[in-house]
Structure 1
Amino acid sequence: MASFTLPPIHDNPDGGWGPSSSNLPEQFKFKDIPYAPYSKSDKLGRFADWNDSSSDNRQSAVGLPQTQNARGGGPGGRRRDGTQAFGSGTASAFAYFHVEDESSFSLVDNKTAPPRRGGAFSRGGRGGARGGASYNNARGGAQRGGRGFNSGRGNNQRGGRRGWRDWEKNNRTRESSVVISPSWSMLEEIEFHRLAKLRLEVDEPVDLDSYGRLFAYDKSYDRITTKTERPLQLVDRIRYNTTTSDDPVIQEASFVILAAKNTATVYATDVILSVLMCAPRSVYPWDIVIVREGNNLFFDKRDGGPFDTVTVNENAADPPQDPAPPNPNNPTEKSAVPEVPSINSATSLSLEATYINQNFGFQSVVENPPPQPVDFAHPNPFYGPDETDPLASCGYRYRVFDLGITEDEDIKICVRTEVDAYSPGQGNPRDGQGLVTIRALNEFDTRSQGAGGAPDWRSKLDSQRGAVVATEMKNNSCKLAKWTVQSVLAGADLMKIGYISRANPRDNTRHVILSTASMRPTEFAGQLNVSLANGWGIVRTVTDLCMKMPEGKYVLVKDPNKPVIRLYAVPLAAFTGEDEDGEGFEEEPEM
């Protein structure tokens, strides 16, 4: 008759469980203490399987050797691969057993089969594909939602068939917008999820001064439809995009108007500031050059940098790609990125979008009175006396925002904002009434890589405008957010967005205007879920970081492949004509 003897229990009079280690010799310190090998990679299953008919668990409990189950595998024959993971030995209580609990599940379809017309499953209903057999159908096999052959909308995987080379899309790397020199020292690194938590409420700004001339917006563009499309014209006008430190108005303000108050002042343009305020939405790389001179901070852009062009489908699941550069070690190696037509590459689309935005703004204003153009307090500050080419409609409003959190803080930011036109009959534009900003979205080829699932505008824009707008808000979230922030900073009452498409998808030189939408910037910001308070919190955080540094030059770089920004200290000669790449200088600002 089988018997079982209990192991001896060592009492510990000092308290706690188990024998007292102080009363035992060294060789018996861990004797009779239960131990089961365990690895973090093991899967925890049942600690006791009382329904196991193989009696393996009972044998293990009493110390008898386990028997190999006829089904093969590990304990109880439950493991499919026949191997045991670390920690699942004969004495382990943590072995993972895979039990096919769904084996008793069955799907019952009580739907009446459709009548046959001429042949078996000629229409198929929700079972077979229309006009074909039920194999490989796109609606889920012969049963409704069942487990037919290759079912599940095109594949046996839930979610449908993967696109070509989908596994490589996440591995495509982008190049940084600026070459990071080894001599630069990284001062700070901030992840986007930290930026998204920042908040700062800012009061209404104070208008410092205004410059330029505005033409009236042509309201006939609001009546354009896909049936009455209008060609986009090439209009030769001058439009300036001067960086902050080269602005003569800001130079004068920094040394005369605001510096005399002994305040910490930041100077920027609305284009640069909108990129910083919408940084958590950005995907493509960018960089901002920051110069500290005393209590003044200047946010600058580089000539030919990312601020001079407009992105296309930056936030799409599969954004447009540029052809990968050839491998210098193996020039004949085939690139992992599929071949993209030159007109649909990311760089070509960006240049095309920039061209469309400029010309749509030039074309959609009335230059010949009536109505009369409106002159601001001062003429265009960048138009020299020797210039003869006509100026574009543009007004510059220099506005000062207070970034102070408490009354003792005196931190202000002077922003050069831009408006493109004015709306007649909406008040005096000189007083900031009826101002309009003009932008344009462009359609290139809905079947091309990087289109982001956009519907055909010619067939959907009039009947299903909401679907078109929703797709653009998803694919161009960052671009639309920046445009909205620029309009709010400028105090514009309206923002006009034109929908412009190619006359032929294979020709990127001819375009047509299909429609124009009008919206109020503050309301549109709510639809886009754009938080101005979050944007001001980001600006204040970057300002505080730079004010803690000594005088010198810095650059804020968005990582090309990660949601993170980094602040670097760079030589004073970086990004100048002497050293455009910022390399080759051993001198660094004192830290």
Structure 2
Amino acid sequence: MASFQLPTLQKDNDLWGPSAESSALPAQLEDIPFAPYAKGDKIGRIADWNAASGANADGGAQGARGGRQGRNRDVQQSFGATGANAFAYFHGDDEASFSVVDNTRTVASRRGGLSAMSRGGRGGARGGAAGGRGGAARGGASARGARGRGGAASTRGGRRFGWKDWDKPQRTREASVTVGQDWEQLEEIDFARLGKLKLEVEEAEDISTYGTLYEYDRAYDRVSTKAEKPLQSLDRIRYSPTTSDDPVIQELVAKSDAQLFMTDSILALLMCSTRSVYPWDIIITRTADGKVFFDKRDGGPFDFLTVNENAADPPMEIDTKDGDAAARTSQLNTPAALSLEATYVNQNFGFQVVNEKKAHQLDNANPFYSADESEPLASCGYRYRKFNLSSDEEDPVELVVRTEVDAILPAGAGAKQQYITIKSLNEFDSRAQGAGGAPDWRTKLDAQRGAVVATEMKNNSFKLARFAVQSLLAGADNMKLGYISRANPRDASRHVILGTSWYKPRELAGQMALNLSNGWGIVRTIADLARKAPEGKYVLLKDPNKPTVRLYSVPANFGEEDDEDEDRIDEEAEQDL
């Protein structure tokens, strides 16, 4: 085995190293050259595999040291700075058979070049103009240098920003209901987890039907942008009480073995919850005998429709002065104003497109209508249906839902009557903020209806998904969709009907990539959380700024305080009169 023995050193204060008189180097060290290093040389690594060797390396080193060697040519050349090839490695014959395994062609990345250019653009903004147009560097115009080729290329290399996107304030929405200090959070589920749930559910079982339905007026199939019809404001009564206030559901609680009770609007929202952006809340009540009721809050988001909720740039609240005319026009396109307008348009469109002279009575009369009412009833039929959400026989789970249909389609020869639902989409101003890039319906609806519908599916994904799911839950054969626009973009009180379309609910759900199995999985998961919880009242709350839902335990009187406040306000108003 090879060994190394240090030579004897001479003790001398003025000299360092082996002495030629006192000792001689061992034979194995005689051929190794002595490599002197200068004090200024930096020795950072033992071997540099990336550096070039041989003449190229020597030349590069000389070039790097050109200025220093030119100033002091008589300085002795040090080994560390010259990169002498005394220790250079030369390839042997053993690597003659070496070959590259991965022979794929390497494509030059454009991102690297754009990144370098973007760095140049920022240099131009500081005055260096490395990536600017050059004129900025010569003239010192830093802003023009920042907008040079370098700055423009940097935006193409990353996310595509619009004009002053960096300067837009962060939108912070408020929750639909304020979380109380005495609330206790029990569960938090993000939409990513909800999107992975799945449950297969069979067709529903009909329990009973209530209400009166009118026939759809076929004349509205011929409406177009060239033959538009004004939207009328009709006074009709249509009831949509919450689950706990429904007398029919209260009867079914005693007769049926079902554990879950809700309305179709609540069920559709849960099934499509992963598409929602705006906040919402659902009140969940669990009784001592294990019954679970899902209720809406009076004045909550269930009573109103949203507009362009899923758009990349949805409508936003605007703080303006009351006296400004442009400010008053802008206030028409805020989320709250558009939501109220969309709800008004949807209801009146359903009232108008039916023929009230041809009525069809269902099995039972309307359970919410009393003889004291003076206004006529709107066309509406309530179908109470039962769904089996059981995943195994040991734990049966049944759901009773009150669904709604809007009209009946006249039966042809040898055909049966069909239940239909009537919904609408509204256009406010294609050039206003929050329009979501929608085309002008008056010029595109007849010729390019597919483009209009595709844009609406993108900007109103949550609302259209709820329309489709509600139609499927009610067992409707068709869905009538109306296209309503303002008569004047600056006037939200007058509207016209520009056209209508027929859709099969299941086909519409397929076009929107709506997974019903995932929706049922979400409903079963929320229901299991409520069933396992102790007796009491809970609130399922959608986070206003995050794709997350949270389950809170709330006091037993939650929701009743608002009713008491409304009664007190009504009593005070009567006393004032």
3-state SS in 2 of match to 1:391 = coil
Contact 1:554 1:569 in 2 (8 A): yes
> For the residues of structure 2 that align with 1:554 and 1:165, how far apart are their CA atoms?
43
Contact 1:446 1:453 in 2 (8 A): yes
Query: Who is 1:90 aligned against?
Result: none
Q: Cα distance 1:300–1:165, how it changes in 2: closer, same or farther (>3 A)?
A: farther
Query: Who is 1:289 aligned against?
Result: 283
> For the residues of structure 1 that align with 2:364 and 2:112, how far apart are their CA atoms?
82
> For the residues of structure 2 that align with 1:157 and 1:321, how far apart are their CA atoms?
26
> For the residues of structure 2 that align with 1:104 and 1:210, how far apart are their CA atoms?
66
State the shift of 1:167 in Å: 2.6
Q: Cα distance 1:351–1:103, how it changes in 2: closer, same or farther (>3 A)?
A: closer
Query: Who is 1:423 aligned against?
Result: 409
> For the residues of structure 1 that align with 2:111 and 2:192, how far apart are their CA atoms?
44
Matched residue type, 1:471? T
Matched residue type, 1:349? L
Q: 1:277 aligns with which of 271, 277, 289?
A: 271
> For the residues of structure 2 that align with 1:153 and 1:221, how far apart are their CA atoms?
54
> For the residues of structure 2 that align with 1:472 and 1:410, how far apart are their CA atoms?
39
Query: Who is 1:144 aligned against?
Result: none
Query: Who is 1:43 aligned against?
Result: none
Q: 1:321 aligns with which of 312, 316, 331?
A: 316
Describe the superposition over 1:205-238 as per-residue Cα deviations: whole angstroms up to 9, x where unpaired.
1111100000001111111110001100001100
Matched residue type, 1:238? I
State the shift of 1:577 in Å: 3.2
Contact 1:403 1:413 in 2 (8 A): yes
> For the residues of structure 1 that align with 2:551 and 2:540, how far apart are their CA atoms?
5
Query: Who is 2:343 aligned against?
Result: 354
Contact 2:213 2:361 in 1 (8 A): yes
**What runs of 5+ residues in structure 2 fail to find an aligned partner?**
7-46, 68-107, 114-132, 134-146, 322-326, 566-577
Q: Does 1:307 align with 2:296?
A: no
3-state SS in 2 of match to 1:226 = coil
Query: Who is 1:123 aligned against?
Result: none
Equivalent runs, 1:64-143 vs 2, <5 Å = none
Contact 2:420 2:479 in 1 (8 A): yes
Describe the superposition over 1:419-476 as per-residue Cα deviations: whole angstroms up to 9, x where unpaired.
00010016999x9x50010000000011111000000001111111111011000000
> For the residues of structure 2 that align with 1:419 and 1:312, how far apart are their CA atoms?
23
Q: Per residue, is there more helix in 1 or in 2?
A: 2
> For the residues of structure 2 that align with 1:551 and 1:168, how far apart are their CA atoms?
49
Q: 1:400 aligns with which of 377, 386, 395?
A: 386
**Which structure: larger Rg?**
2
Q: Cα distance 1:102–1:392, how it changes in 2: closer, same or farther (>3 A)?
A: closer
Q: Does 1:496 align with 2:454?
A: no
Q: Does 1:438 align with 2:439?
A: no
Query: Who is 2:50 aligned against?
Result: 49
State the shift of 1:340 in Å: 7.9
Contact 2:318 2:330 in 1 (8 A): no
Query: Who is 2:398 aligned against?
Result: 412
Matched residue type, 1:526? G
Matched residue type, 1:222? D
> For the residues of structure 2 that align with 1:486 and 1:540, how far apart are their CA atoms?
17
Query: Who is 1:234 aligned against?
Result: 233
Query: Who is 2:536 aligned against?
Result: 552
3-state SS in 2 of match to 1:251 = helix
Q: Cα distance 1:570–1:154, how it changes in 2: closer, same or farther (>3 A)?
A: same
Describe the superposition over 1:296-325 as per-residue Cα deviations: whole angstroms up to 9, x where unpaired.
110000000000000000000011112369
Contact 2:186 2:550 in 1 (8 A): yes
TM-score when normalising by structure 1 = 0.69
Query: Who is 2:498 aligned against?
Result: 514
Query: Who is 1:572 aligned against?
Result: 556
Query: Who is 1:451 aligned against?
Result: 435
Q: Cα distance 1:249–1:156, how it changes in 2: closer, same or farther (>3 A)?
A: same
Equivalent runs, 1:456-471 vs 2, <5 Å = 456-471=440-455
Query: Who is 2:35 aligned against?
Result: none
Q: Cα distance 1:164–1:252, how it changes in 2: closer, same or farther (>3 A)?
A: same
Q: Cα distance 1:279–1:68, how it changes in 2: closer, same or farther (>3 A)?
A: farther
Q: 2:460 aligns with which of 473, 476, 483?
A: 476
State the shift of 1:192 in Å: 0.2
State the shift of 1:529 in Å: 0.7
Query: Who is 1:216 aligned against?
Result: 215
Contact 1:426 1:434 in 2 (8 A): no
Query: Who is 1:193 aligned against?
Result: 192
Describe the superposition over 1:225-263 as per-residue Cα deviations: whole angstroms up to 9, x where unpaired.
1000110000110011200000000111112x11xx4x5
Q: Does 1:539 align with 2:540?
A: no
> For the residues of structure 2 that align with 1:436 and 1:69, how far apart are their CA atoms?
88
State the shift of 1:578 in Å: 5.8
Matched residue type, 1:451? A
Describe the superposition over 1:490-546 as per-residue Cα deviations: whole angstroms up to 9, x where unpaired.
000000110000111111111110000101001111001111111110000001011
3-state SS in 1 of match to 2:193 = helix
Contact 1:454 1:471 in 2 (8 A): yes
Contact 1:216 1:367 in 2 (8 A): yes
Contact 1:321 1:340 in 2 (8 A): no
> For the residues of structure 1 that align with 2:374 and 2:463, how far apart are their CA atoms?
33
State the shift of 1:407 in Å: 2.0
Q: 2:356 aligns with which of 355, 358, 367?
A: 367
Query: Who is 1:20 aligned against?
Result: none
Query: Who is 2:120 aligned against?
Result: none
Equivalent runs, 1:27-66 vs 2, <5 Å = 48-51=49-52
Contact 1:427 1:434 in 2 (8 A): no
> For the residues of structure 2 that align with 1:487 and 1:280, how far apart are their CA atoms?
19
3-state SS in 2 of match to 1:193 = helix
3-state SS in 1 of match to 2:299 = coil
Q: Cα distance 1:104–1:240, how it changes in 2: closer, same or farther (>3 A)?
A: closer
Q: Cα distance 1:400–1:101, how it changes in 2: closer, same or farther (>3 A)?
A: closer
State the shift of 1:155 in Å: 8.0
Contact 2:155 2:161 in 1 (8 A): no
Contact 2:329 2:490 in 1 (8 A): no
Query: Who is 1:113 aligned against?
Result: none
**What runs of 5+ residues in structure 1 fail to find an aligned partner?**
9-45, 60-66, 71-99, 106-134, 136-148, 327-337, 582-591
> For the residues of structure 1 that align with 2:111 and 2:463, how far apart are their CA atoms?
51
Contact 1:554 1:568 in 2 (8 A): yes
Q: Cα distance 1:69–1:497, how it changes in 2: closer, same or farther (>3 A)?
A: farther
Q: Does 1:243 align with 2:242?
A: yes
Q: Cα distance 1:208–1:178, how it changes in 2: closer, same or farther (>3 A)?
A: same
> For the residues of structure 1 that align with 2:559 and 2:318, how far apart are their CA atoms?
27
Matched residue type, 1:280? T
> For the residues of structure 1 that align with 2:210 and 2:489, how far apart are their CA atoms?
40
Matched residue type, 2:330? P
> For the residues of structure 2 that align with 1:102 and 1:539, how far apart are their CA atoms?
47
Contact 1:290 1:554 in 2 (8 A): yes
Query: Who is 1:530 aligned against?
Result: 514
Contact 1:270 1:486 in 2 (8 A): yes
